[in-house]
Structure 1
Amino acid sequence: MEKKKVAFYTLGCKLNFSETSTIARNFTEEGFDRVEFSEKADIYVINTCSVTENADKRFKSIVKQAQKVNPDAFVAAIGCYAQLKPEELADVNGVDLVLGATEKFKITHYLNDLSKNDYGHVHSCEIEEADFYVGSYSIGDRTRAFLKVQDGCDYKCTYCTIPLARGISRSDTLENVLKNAKEISDQGIKEIVLTGVNIGDYGKGEFGNKKHEHTFYQLVTALDKVEGIERLRISSIEPNLLKNETINFVAQSRTFVSHFHIPLQSGSNEILKLMRRRYQCELYVNRVRQIKETMPHACIGVDVIVGFPGETDEHFLETYNFLNELDISYLHVFTYSERDNTIAAEMDGVIPNKVRAKRSKMLRGLSAKKRRAFYESQLGSYRTVLFEGENKEGYIHGFTENYVKVKTPWDPSLINTLHEVELTKIDDDGLVRFEFVKEKKLVEL
């Protein structure tokens, strides 16, 4: 009997990618063949995101994409949007099944004969029931693996739906994280990215237990000892949870790389207060200073939201100037969009969309300037590059440990390998060229 085929599409964050990958392995273990989303499949699973309005809108077009390839295919929606607005997704033409936060990991239990339904069937829990932890990691999709260590969030930022979509903060056991990390490295993957909703809050147990079994610092020190791992990268971490002990450890660790991504959201203390963020700009400055003092070559990425209710021109300029003067490397700019059931959606001082777009454009321009300056500061330095697996217009790309993106003419033998290089020049497309370095020369420097 021919195996049923399943295909996956993931929207949103690294955490979603790690969970999609784990769910895909469950399908494989139950006898399904995984194929690309562009290929004909019997089941299409779409892992949704609801952080921005754009992610919501993309869902319908992805369903249409699947139906175009196979109109008779069974379409299932999982993930954050599926938890927040299950009925809305169930109403989309072609959707057969919608699973919420706790149900998505048991998706194969909900598949019967795979016949198309007249309407989307919803299985969604109250988010308070999402109080257990399911570990996951991505493997085989990319050169690096995303390892989930934590889920949910106890913070109450006024613009965010994540606590409604993913529930309370809870973590994997240290033992299981180390086991998963070893499984990943045993498969020849060179880099692991730690991911979660609020990874700095690592250590909180299941069932609403607020006691930390282990701290984030204990997690990174234990992972650094796992044999076979070449590189570990910390994904986004809140500035108030990134402690100096962690920064100092990364600076001298065996495997952790000098790259941090730290959400700021606003460079105005007034706006941070309206957002209910748990720090002020002064703390953020101290974190950046500590990183740069211990690792002058470190790359620092920043999340920032523009157009939040009440953000005047003065507030925005405060943010712009704050970021301009800060020794950071790039920005991820988010244009604020109203989300249902959030406090911010009810706030006064709504910013017109045109103004939001203008501010977003200004910060994207600043990001390009910051990235260029950071790349220029790295020219002439010796770095280690991990090469990706894709042929892009005759070039292979890779990233240094401190997240400088490099390129060289396509050479398949470089895929998933680490090489010492000297960064030599910035190309017209903004990427960095390099020369391979022999071991001996590196030692002499």
Structure 2
Amino acid sequence: MKKKVAFYTLGCKLNFSETSTIARGFQEDGFDRVEFSEHADMYVVNTCSVTENADKRFKTIVKQAQKINPEAFVAAIGCYAQLKPEELAAVDGVDLVLGATEKFKITDYINDLTKNDFGEVHSCEIEEADFYVGSYAIGDRTRAFLKVQDGCDYKCTYCTIPLARGISRSDTLQNVLNNAAEISAKGIKEIVLTGVNIGDYGKGEFGNKTHEHTFLDLVKALDRVEGIHRLRISSIEPNLLKNETIDFVSQSNSFVPHFHIPLQSGSDDILKLMRRRYMSSLYIDRVNKIKETMPHACIGVDVIVGFPGETDEHFLETYHFLNELDISYLHVFTYSERDNTAAAEMGGVVSKQVRNKRSKMLRGLSVKKRRAFYEGQLGKTHQVLFEGENKEGYIHGFTSNYVKVKSPWNPALVNTLHEVSLTEIDEDGLVRLEFEKSFTEV
């Protein structure tokens, strides 16, 4: 009988792409992959260190695995496993903890899956994480996350990612193109480019800081890969999103008009404390440039509330900045202290109550912004890629510019592209489509 392995991924698209590649390695070694809710001989949890909540969820997930099979071998990998391996190893039921480089060779570290009395740790010094491992994730038949870059050379005062993932380094252009072609050959219609700092694409391995290729080179090359219907840039720093890239996307065959650009704060005082590499004026320039070339483009924004030293005035500066900006939605993060970061030592600590209040205000603003963006798309025709799940009698999909739509469930629509006219927003905030009236298959 084949051994069964199950995976649980916390955190970002990059983690999902790496989990998927690691899972394929298990399957090549003779394991059967099953859902995390099923009985398995081994459970692997890919951890995240960005938020306090992701840290806490780890224990809950391990308990879930033990409840399904108390004898199962449990391994922890990922960012939290690199930062605090001993802490994870001490969690009841954990047998193995692997750091940033070891996770890609996980099957080398497991024996007959006999449980250990104590969690075994194999974790490198992060300086040793100087080589690149490519990966991609296929979650359903419609979209894949393709990793093109790893690590970060920035020193933002709140962030643990450089400590968890090491220096900035990239896949070779040819490898990325090969992976993209492989994904396309599986019938997947959309690829989302992912990494820690993808705008920094081109830095090689072993600390080589010369860019053999730029992010623009990557974008241009991917646009020529046959069979890819859609390419989406996940998250890119505003200082690395160049005019040339925006211009190219506006004329592209495959790249969609959707950008996700971290802001973190609309206050220049706070941006300086965060050690971000731009001021708010540059961010305005990026948004204006996108909207000039692609008025229908969707722009998502990351923002952190409750950073040390953020006064009411600073927060209102951020709120008004975002309110006046032509953006489409927000990802709001409530600041949480992370060990070994400069921000954790700063004064001016904002109370949890105030952090939560500010977070709620910005989430409300996000709802308003998304609604306004959706309303601005009504009466227009867009291309929708439909996904594969039946959710309460509806099938969902996204336009190229990231408007979420729904239509009565029809299995024939799964993984198909249709030209649709957007006519009405339903009570849940999504654009509702009636198949007979508004669909033309592409």
Give the TM-score normalised by structure 2. 0.98
Q: How many Å separate the matches in 1 of 2:138 and 2:16?
A: 9
Letter of the 1:57 partner, please give it. K
1:148 corresponds to 2:115: no
Letter of the 1:244 partner, please give it. N
Q: How many Å separate the matches in 1 of 2:89 and 2:67?
A: 19
Aligned to 2:384: 385
1:15 corresponds to 2:29: no
The SS at the match of 2:396 is strand
Alignment of 1:317-328 (within 5 A): 317-328=316-327
Deviation of 1:282 (Å): 0.3
Q: How many Å separate the matches in 2 of 1:119 and 1:396?
A: 46
Any idea what the Cα deviations from partners look like across 1:227-256, whole Å, max 9, x if unmatched? 000000000000000000000000010000
Q: How many Å separate the matches in 1 of 2:434 and 2:391?
A: 20
Q: Cα distance 1:194–1:85, how it changes in 2: closer, same or farther (>3 A)?
A: same
Is the Cα–Cα contact under 8 Å of residues 420 and 440 in structure 2 kept in the other structure?
Answer: no
Alignment of 1:282-361 (within 5 A): 282-361=281-360
1:202 corresponds to 2:201: yes
Aligned to 2:171: 172
Q: How many Å separate the matches in 1 of 2:274 and 2:290?
A: 25
Aligned to 1:24: 23
Is the Cα–Cα contact under 8 Å of residues 421 and 439 in structure 2 kept in the other structure?
Answer: no
Aligned to 2:120: 121
Deviation of 1:202 (Å): 0.1
Deviation of 1:435 (Å): 4.7
Structure 1 runs, 4 residues or longer, greater than 6 Å off? none
Letter of the 1:36 partner, please give it. E
Any idea what the Cα deviations from partners look like across 1:44-97, whole Å, max 9, x if unmatched? 000000000000000000000000000000000000000000000000000000
Alignment of 1:107-118 (within 5 A): 107-118=106-117
Any idea what the Cα deviations from partners look like across 1:355-376, whole Å, max 9, x if unmatched? 0000000000000000000000
Deviation of 1:143 (Å): 2.3
Q: How many Å separate the matches in 2 of 1:439 and 1:129?
A: 52
| Structure 1 unmatched ranges of 5 or more | none
The SS at the match of 1:78 is strand
Aligned to 1:187: 186
The SS at the match of 2:376 is helix
Aligned to 1:163: 162
Is the Cα–Cα contact under 8 Å of residues 421 and 435 in structure 1 kept in the other structure?
Answer: no
Aligned to 2:68: 69
Deviation of 1:192 (Å): 0.1
Q: How many Å separate the matches in 2 of 1:435 and 1:286?
A: 39
Deviation of 1:388 (Å): 1.0
The SS at the match of 1:260 is strand
Is the Cα–Cα contact under 8 Å of residues 49 and 55 in structure 2 kept in the other structure?
Answer: yes
The SS at the match of 1:334 is strand
Is the Cα–Cα contact under 8 Å of residues 43 and 75 in structure 2 kept in the other structure?
Answer: yes
Query: How many residue pairs align between the two structures?
Result: 440
Letter of the 1:218 partner, please give it. D
Any idea what the Cα deviations from partners look like across 1:215-238, whole Å, max 9, x if unmatched? 000000000000000000000000
Q: How many Å separate the matches in 2 of 1:388 and 1:421?
A: 15
Deviation of 1:139 (Å): 1.7
Q: How many Å separate the matches in 1 of 2:413 and 2:132?
A: 37
The SS at the match of 2:24 is helix
Deviation of 1:142 (Å): 5.5
Is the Cα–Cα contact under 8 Å of residues 385 and 418 in structure 2 kept in the other structure?
Answer: yes
Is the Cα–Cα contact under 8 Å of residues 152 and 169 in structure 1 kept in the other structure?
Answer: yes
Aligned to 1:231: 230
Is the Cα–Cα contact under 8 Å of residues 424 and 435 in structure 1 kept in the other structure?
Answer: no
Is the Cα–Cα contact under 8 Å of residues 265 and 303 in structure 2 kept in the other structure?
Answer: yes
Aligned to 1:52: 51
Q: How many Å separate the matches in 2 of 1:307 and 1:179?
A: 43
Q: Cα distance 1:345–1:212, how it changes in 2: closer, same or farther (>3 A)?
A: same
What's the RMSD between the two structures over aligned residues?
1.0
Aligned to 1:402: 401
Q: How many Å separate the matches in 2 of 1:318 and 1:185?
A: 44
Q: How many Å separate the matches in 1 of 2:132 and 2:426?
A: 45
Deviation of 1:140 (Å): 4.6
Aligned to 2:244: 245
Is the Cα–Cα contact under 8 Å of residues 423 and 435 in structure 1 kept in the other structure?
Answer: no
Deviation of 1:101 (Å): 0.1
The SS at the match of 1:138 is strand
1:423 corresponds to 2:422: yes
Q: Cα distance 1:357–1:438, how it changes in 2: closer, same or farther (>3 A)?
A: closer
Q: Cα distance 1:88–1:438, how it changes in 2: closer, same or farther (>3 A)?
A: closer
Q: How many Å separate the matches in 1 of 2:304 and 2:82?
A: 24
Q: How many Å separate the matches in 1 of 2:89 and 2:76?
A: 8
